[in-house]
Amino acid sequence: MDALGYTKELVSFESTSVLSNVPVTDCAEDHLKSLGFLTERLEYQDGNGVTKACVVGRKGPGKGGMAYFGHTDVVPADPWFTDEHGPFEPKVVGDRLYGRGSCDMKGSVACMLAAAEQFSVSDLKKPIYVTCTADEEIGYGGAAAVAQRSELFQEMAESGANGVIGEPTLLEVVYAHKGVCGFSATSRGKAAHSSTREGLNANLAMIPFLAEMKSIHDEMESNPDWQNDEFDPPFVSWNILISDHTKAVNITPPQSICQVYFRHMPGQNPDVLLERAQKAADENGLELDIRIKGNPLRVDPNSDFVREVVALAGRDKAVTVSYGTDGAMLGALKKLVVFGPGGIAQAHTHDEWIALEQLEKGTEMYARLIRHWCC
């Protein structure tokens, strides 16, 4: 099957992160087995009790080789841009394939499957590893499970496998990305009719906390200690979201919630910022809950490994990106780049698509890496 065929099949599974990704993992595992991979399966329950699954496959003898990583969960598709076909009904229109996950990142997984299909076990001197994770979009839970529990991942790390995270980069070679941290702060009040003195407006305790969050936001954009010119933007992105979820204007808000999601860079200590947020929460009687922590990724752009991938990809140099990947949890791999088909500008959009040319080139590039590292 070519990459287009694999992509259509994978996209047809609705694997939004709040749902189980077991059906699409079953599909990926069946394909890996049919292509001669030995597989290792890891399942876990997420925080809502939903079963999630990851699969790790190995094909070929020896040590080292190529280790590919992709995720099978997708973001919600609400709204979707057309009534002619649903987000999980992949549709080719012109030179594009539309569907949720086509770009981020089932198209990339499909390219790797199509590339691996070109090589029999007898062609290989070193192994091909393919890992498909869950929950990348909501905190890297699947990658964390793989890093902690997978014997095959331990084998990759110990043998110095050449790692590739297949997130969409338009097949540019990425040597570094930002990390992520997210937390929520909750103020508790008491609901009542706003004309009485019986209520307690939860927003009142939230206001000074928000002032401190705004102060940190401004500092991130102005203080050179929190900046790194390797990235665009070169500062810590400090995104503030607020809501009291109150349904009518004459109700005293019984709760007020602030969420902060920030992206730090290699060499920066996010705990300093989390401690400031915790101090502000304590001073104002708020509950603070850390939801996600993921490390930045950085590999020396002048290393032999990165230079090798750049040359194989036909690029002039490696670049950085400001989003995160499963690489946040895969630090045991010392050789790891982000390199995949499709553009991040198409990811998470209401009309997500991937260019058919990118599926063809992605397959070609992954086959080239397999041939170089494994044959």
Per-residue pLDDT in tens (0 to 9) along the chain, 375 residues: 999 999 999 999 999 999 999 999 999 999 999 999 999 999 999 999 999 999 999 999 999 999 999 999 999 999 999 999 999 999 999 999 999 999 999 999 999 999 999 999 999 999 999 999 999 999 999 999 999 999 999 999 999 999 999 999 999 999 999 999 999 999 999 999 999 999 999 999 999 999 999 999 999 999 999 999 999 999 999 999 999 999 999 999 999 999 999 999 999 999 999 999 999 999 999 999 999 999 999 999 999 999 999 999 999 999 999 999 999 999 999 999 999 999 999 999 999 999 999 999 999 999 999 999 999
Residues 226 and 93 placed together within one structural domain of the fold: no
Residues 233 and 264 placed together within one structural domain of the fold: yes
Residues 246 and 131 placed together within one structural domain of the fold: no
What type of residue sits at position 277?
A: A
Reference 298, options 268, 274, 272; nearest CA is: 268
Reference 355, options 339, 371, 340, 338; nearest CA is: 340
Residues 230 and 154 placed together within one structural domain of the fold: no
What integer pLDDT is reported at residue 83 of this predicted model? 93
What integer pLDDT is reported at residue 133 of this predicted model? 98
Number of domains in the chain: 2
Rounded Cα distance between 325 and 333, Å, is 14
Q: Do the beta carbons of residue 58 and residue 127 sit within 8 Å? A: yes
Is the previous residue joined to 79 through a cis bond, with omega within 30 degrees of 0?
A: yes
CB burial readout 125-161, b (16+ within 10 A) else e: ebbbbbbbbbbbbbbbbbbbbbbeebebbebbbeeeb
Residues 229 and 359 placed together within one structural domain of the fold: no
Q: Do the beta carbons of residue 242 and residue 249 sit within 8 Å? A: no
Q: Do the beta carbons of residue 77 and residue 88 sit within 8 Å? A: yes
Q: Which of 294, 325, 340 is the last residue of a domain?
A: 294
Residues 200 and 171 placed together within one structural domain of the fold: no
Residues 172 and 190 placed together within one structural domain of the fold: no
- Residue 80: CATH number of its domain: 3.40.630.10
Rounded Cα distance between 310 and 139, Å, is 29
Q: Which of 246, 279, 294 is the last residue of a domain?
A: 294
What are the tokens at 72?
Answer: 């099978």
Residues 184 and 306 placed together within one structural domain of the fold: no
What are the tokens at 367?
Answer: 């086959």
Rounded Cα distance between 261 and 62, Å, is 42
Q: What is the largest CA-CA distance in the chain?
A: 80
Residues 167 and 184 placed together within one structural domain of the fold: no
Residues 208 and 166 placed together within one structural domain of the fold: no
Residues 72 and 147 placed together within one structural domain of the fold: yes
- Residue 207: CATH number of its domain: 3.30.70.360
Residues 331 and 207 placed together within one structural domain of the fold: no
Rounded Cα distance between 37 and 119, Å, is 11
The tens digit of pLDDT for each residue in 298-350 reads 999 999 999 999 999 999 999 999 999 999 999 999 999 999 999 999 999 99
Rounded Cα distance between 362 and 61, Å, is 24
What integer pLDDT is reported at residue 248 of this predicted model? 95
Reference 134, options 58, 26, 59, 34; nearest CA is: 26
Rounded Cα distance between 60 and 119, Å, is 10
Reference 4, options 107, 94, 84, 75; nearest CA is: 107
What integer pLDDT is reported at residue 276 of this predicted model? 97
Q: Which of 245, 276, 294 is the last residue of a domain?
A: 294
Containing domain of residue 14, as a range?
3-177+296-374
What integer pLDDT is reported at residue 305 of this predicted model? 98
pTM: 0.94
What integer pLDDT is reported at residue 246 of this predicted model? 93
What are the tokens at 368?
Answer: 């080239």
